[in-house]
Amino acid sequence: MRRSLIAGMVGAILVAMAAAIGGHAWSAPPDIPFAMETRDLHDPDAPGKQNHIDFADLEYRYPLMPEDRMKITPENLEELSQEQVDQIYARLPAGPIPDGIYLGGAFFPRGEDEDSRIGEMVGGIMGRGVSAISDGIERIATFVWKGKAFDRDHRVLRNLIEDRRTLRAIIGDEAEGIETIEIPRQGLWSMFSRTRTVWLLFPAKVHCGQSLLDGRRESIIIDYAYNDDLADIFRDNPDHWVNRKGLRIRDEIRMVRPGFYLGRAYINRAFILNFTLYKEDVAEAQEATFLSGGDVGADCWPDAEQISVLR
């Protein structure tokens, strides 16, 4: 009896450690409004898009107030279906272009049954196989990618990449000389070491542009296509993996609230995953201003409704 009790306690501790090190504990979905009957929001006049959601109608019926957006966290976003994540993203402004180090997390699209949405779309045995693969990719992406370092003045960024040992084996001798920085550790590992060393890789240009999900207002675009133009920070190997000669990656982000952005990543214009970016000091410094309706900054073009109000 005593042995089984000890084993149970050890097991519980290991589960807690795994959650702190490699993921996050379950978090209740945010208590914010969603359109449950999305068929009422479909635009029947959209050519070839019978299930296209009218995001303007969604926002009119279910606006996200500052109090609602304060309820959203990087953790509880992962408990939502992709349709709900899309509904949140469509109701967000672009906000100001970030500056400095933003810690990140990635999560793949989920269907209503909490399985991979990609697998759900394929269906059957093949769909379950696709789900298993995408879950593995998600774990790898979460382990390797730790966020983004923005240079607002020059409208560029680089990605924070931690798994340097594996990448070094792939890149070879060209790994020498890659710039590194220290970023804060999170979770249980922070008890043993306050910082971790990451590479600065995969530069991109940052600008305002049209969202691939919702064209009513602009998003902040993270464009890797011509990152080889950024001669001061570009390294052909591995930085070309993500540009027009490689995977053709394009990200876009919108501000949930100051210091916190929700992003979407695309490969050759095909949506592949969601990600979050968070900077604690900005979030804390601007929370009161945000909740009171004050100006927290904006760099991109707002939607038609916002323009009419500004006039």
The Cα–Cα gap between 128 and 113 comes to 12
Question: Two tokens at 83?
Answer: 């349709």
How many of the other CB atoms lie within 10 Å of CB of 82?
19
Q: Which long-range contacts (CB under 8 A, 24 or more apart) does 171-180 make?
A: 171/237, 171/238, 174/235, 174/237, 178/235
User: What is the β-pairing status of strands 249-257 and 270-278?
Assistant: unpaired
Q: What's the whole-number mean pLDDT along residues 281-307?
A: 87
DSSP for 40-63?
GGB-TTSTT-TT-B-HHHHHHHS-
pLDDT at 281 over 80: yes
Q: Tens of pLDDT along 170-208?
A: 888 888 889 999 999 876 666 777 889 999 999 999 999
Question: Two tokens at 301?
Answer: 């073009």
More confident call, 301 vs 39: 301
Quick one: pLDDT band at residue 140, thresholds 50, 70, 90? low
pLDDT score, position 36: 79
Please give the mean pLDDT across all residues of the chain: 82
pLDDT score, position 14: 36
User: Helix crossing, 2-22 with 124-144: angle to 10°?
Assistant: 80
The Cα–Cα gap between 37 and 149 comes to 39
Residue 214's alpha-carbon distances to 230, 267, 306, in angstroms, are 29, 17, 15
Q: Tens of pLDDT along 213-272?
A: 998 999 999 999 999 999 999 999 999 999 999 999 999 999 999 999 999 999 999 999
pLDDT score, position 10: 39
The Cα–Cα gap between 234 and 94 comes to 27
Pair 111, 117: CB distance under 8 Å? yes
pLDDT at 163 over 90: no
How many of the other CB atoms lie within 10 Å of CB of 27?
13
Residue 185 buriedness (CB in 10 A; 0-12 / 13-18 / 19+): middle
* 238 cis-preceded (ω within 30 degrees of 0): yes
Strand pairing partners for 149? 101, 158
Query: How many Cα atoms sit within 13 Å of 60 on the Cβ side?
Result: 9
pLDDT score, position 292: 96
Domain boundaries, the chain: 2-310
List the helix and strand counts (H, then E) for the chain: 11, 9
Which residue, among 118, 94, 87, has the nearest Cα to 222 in the 3D structure?
Answer: 94
Which residue, among 13, 16, 17, 74, has the nearest Cα to 189 in the 3D structure?
Answer: 17
How many of the other CB atoms lie within 10 Å of CB of 193?
9
More confident call, 169 vs 163: 169
Quick one: pLDDT band at residue 165, thresholds 50, 70, 90? confident
Q: Tens of pLDDT along 44-55?
A: 555 544 456 899
pLDDT at 106 over 80: yes
Question: Two tokens at 273?
Answer: 């995953």
The Cα–Cα gap between 153 and 175 comes to 28
